[in-house]
Amino acid sequence: MRLKPHDIMRLVAGGKGRAAAADESIWLCLTCETCSARCPNDCDPAGVIDSLRELGIDSGVSDAPRRIAAFHRAFLAQIESNGRLHEMGMVMDYKFRTGDLMKDVTNAPGMVSRGKLSLRPDRIRGVAEVKRIFEKCGEA
Amino acid sequence: MAADAGAPSATATAPRTPIAYYPGCSLHGTSREFDESLRAVLAALRIPIREIDDWSCCGASSGHTTDHLLGVALPARNLALAEAQGFASVLAPCAACYNRLTAARLAVAAEDDLAARMPDVLGRPFANTVAVESVVALLRDSATAIEEEVAAALTPNPLEGLRLAAYYGCLLVRPPEVAGADDPEAPLSMDEVIAACGADAVDWNMKVECCGGAFSVSRTNSVVRLGRAIIEDARRNGAEAIVVACPLCHSNLDLRQKAMMTRGEEPMPVLFITQVVGLALGLPAAPLGLDRHFVDTEPFIRRLVEQAAARVAAEERVKAEAAAKSAARREKTVAGDAPADDAPAAADTRASQDGDA
C-alpha cells in the first residue's frame, strides 16, 4: 500500500481526490477501520476510501488490482443471481475472471470432505427482489 | 409485579419469544460448524431462535466497498423481512453480517433521504424497527446461565483452567459506533464468556488486529503474514487455542494456518466461541462441528477430556483419603480418649487434609 490513510486524506483535502481514486492503494485497504477508530483528529479515512473506490469505478479511473476487482465482481454476481453467496460458484467465477485456475485447488477436497463446500447454490425465492435492489442501485 | 411474586423465578421459566436468526452465507457454507454449535448451545441455554424466512446475503465487504447504497440496501432487505415476520430483534452471529446489518440500521436511522428511498429500493415497506444483536453480546448476557449449566453438567468440564486467547478482529469492535463493543481497543466481552466457561482468557496484544479478512482468496500472502503474527502472539502469551466469533477470521486462521507455520510449530486450534461454550456445557464434539476444522481438534479435545477426568479422579482420591483418615481418627477417638469434637472434620475434604498436614 503505497498511500497510507493519512496520505489519502492529504490528497483528498488538497483537492486531489481523483488521483487518490485512481491509485491502487485504496484497493489494498482491508476496511479493517483501524485508521478511523484511532484517528486523533476524528477523521474517517475508511469512509473516505469507500467513497473513493465508488468514485474510481463510476468515473472509470479505478486501478483495482485485477484479482481484487475480480473477487468483488464474482462475489456480487453470486448474490445477484442466487440471493445468497454460493462459495463454490464464486470461486469458479473468480478463477475464470483471473485465469488463476489452479489457485487453492489442493484445499478443495478438504473443504468438501468437511462439508464446507456445497455444489449447488442455495437460491432464495426472492431472487427477483434482490435483482431489483441491484438495478435500483445502478449495479445491474 | 405483585401477581408474579409467588412464582418461582418467572424470568427463568417463562418461554422466551424467539429471536430472529440471520445465519448469513458463511454459516450455511464454509462455517457450518458456527451454525451447528450456535443452535446446540442456544438450545441448551433455552434461548429460542427462528431463521428469517428467505433471507438474502448482506453483501459483506464487497457491497459497501464498491457502492454505498447497495451496502445499505442488501442488509436492509433482511431487516425488512424480520420486521414483516414480526420480530423485534435479530441475532447475526457472523461478525461481518452483524457489522453490515447494524451499519445499515444506523445509516437509515441517521439519513432521512436514505430512509425515504428504502421502500422503493427494497420493493417492500421498511420502518427500521428491528434491533441487531451479536452472538458475543448474547452469550455475555447469558454468562450466569452458562455458569449454572457448566456447574450442573454431568461430565467434568474439559475447559477448566484452559488458557484461551479471545480474538475479536475488526468487525466486532470497529467502527466503534457500529460495533457497540464494550471497548474498541481492549474488549473483554468474549473474555467474560470464556471465564463463564471456567477457562482462563489470556492477556495478549493482537485482540483487535486484522486477519486479512476478505483477501483470503485474492491476496493470500497478506492473510498468511497477518495471521502468523496473530497466532505467534497468542502462543507467546500462553494460549492453547484461539477463540473467534467471525467466519472470516476462522477460515483465515484455520484453513491458512498450515502456510503460516513453517518452523514445525504445534498447530493452534481455532474455535468458535459457541464451540467453547458447547464444550463447557458438556456437549460432544461432533454436534458442535469440531471435526470440520482444518487444524485437527481431535487430539486437543481428547487431551482436555483426559485432563479433566484425571483432575476429577485426583479430587475424588483426595476426598477418599481424607475420609479414610478421619474415619481412622474416629476409631482412635472411640478406642482412646482424644477430644470428640474432631468428628465434624470428617465431612471436609481437601481443606481439612491441608490443615492436618
The span from the CA of B22 to the CA of B98, in Å, is 9
Residues A27 and A88 in one domain: no
Please tell us whether the domain made up of B143-307 is placed in CATH 2.60.40.420. no
- Coil/strand/helix, residue B242: strand
Of the candidates B178, B8, B206, B168, the one whose C-alpha atom is nearest the C-alpha of residue B105 is: B178
- Domain region containing A130: 66-136
Segment B243-269 mean pLDDT = 93
Cα three-residue angle A45-A49-A53, rounded to 5 degrees: 175
Q: What is the count of structural domains for chain A? A: 2
Q: Which fold has domain B15-135?
A: Glutathione S-transferase Yfyf (Class Pi); Chain A, domain 2 (1.20.1050)
Question: How does pLDDT run across B310-339, given as a tens digit for each residue?
Answer: 999 999 999 999 999 999 998 887 776 555
Q: Do A30 and B57 touch (CB under 8 A)?
A: no
Q: Do A68 and B215 touch (CB under 8 A)?
A: yes
The span from the CA of B186 to the CA of B206, in Å, is 10
Question: How does pLDDT run across B86-112, given as a tens digit for each residue?
Answer: 999 999 999 999 999 999 999 999 999
Which among A30, A104, A133 is the nearest to B122, CB-wise?
A133
Q: Do B218 and A65 touch (CB under 8 A)?
A: yes
Q: How far is B294 from chain A (nearest CA, A)?
A: 8
- Coil/strand/helix, residue B254: helix
Residues A46 and A18 in one domain: yes
Chain A residues whose beta carbon lies within 8 Å of the beta carbon of residue B294:
110, 114
What are the percentages of helix, strand and coil residues in chain A, rounded to 5?
60, 0, 40
Residue A3 DSSP code: S
Residue with cell 488458557: B163
**pTM, entire model:** 0.88
Return the pLDDT at B66: 79
Chain A residues whose beta carbon lies within 8 Å of the beta carbon of residue B73:
133, 136-137
The span from the CA of B342 to the CA of B269, in Å, is 50
The interface pTM score, or ipTM, of the predicted complex is: 0.90
Return the pLDDT at B213: 83
Q: How far is B118 from chain A (nearest CA, A)?
A: 10
Q: Do B74 and A91 touch (CB under 8 A)?
A: no
Q: Where are the domains of chain B?
A: 15-135, 143-307, 316-356
Q: How far is B168 from chain A (nearest CA, A)?
A: 12
Of the candidates A136, A16, A20, the one whose C-alpha atom is nearest the C-alpha of residue B121 is: A136
Could you tell me the strand order of the sheet in which B49-51 lies? B49-51, B19-21, B89-91, B131-133
- Grid cell at residue B40: 446446540
Higher pLDDT, A62 or B86: B86
Q: How far is B350 from chain A (nearest CA, A)?
A: 46
Give the lowest-confidence range in A58-62, A82-86, B56-60, B89-93. A58-62
Residues A77 and A37 in one domain: no
Residues A51 and A35 in one domain: yes
The span from the CA of B263 to the CA of B265, in Å, is 6
